[in-house]
Amino acid sequence: MPRPHYVVRRSRSGRFNFTLLAEQGRISGTVIVATADLPRDEIERRAHDQIRALAETLAAVVGVPKPA
């Protein structure tokens, strides 16, 4: 399997469903982003930022070193 990555699917009202994929398995979840008067690309950037932050937190909790 390629290096760990995530897949994102936009839902409604600022909800973004995602799946973190790694050789050991997968974790799915949802992040919610405020959409009020924001352009679509900014909403998506914020969602990706939240997903990356969750992945980094998970890695920190389980003691996995951050990729370079």
Digit-by-digit pLDDT tens for the chain (68 residues) are 567 777 888 887 889 999 988 888 888 999 999 988 899 899 999 999 999 998 888 878 877 666 66
Q: Is there a contact between 11 and 22 (Cβ–Cβ < 8 Å)?
A: no
pLDDT of residue 32: 94
Rounded to whole angstroms, the Cα distance separating 24 from 35 reads 34
Whose tokens are 């994929």? That residue is 21
Burial class (CB in 10 A: 0-12, 13-18, 19+), 18: buried
pLDDT of residue 17: 93
Map out the domains of the chain as residue ranges: 5-62
pLDDT of residue 55: 84
Q: Which residues pair with 32 in a beta bridge?
A: 15
Global pTM exceeds 0.85: no
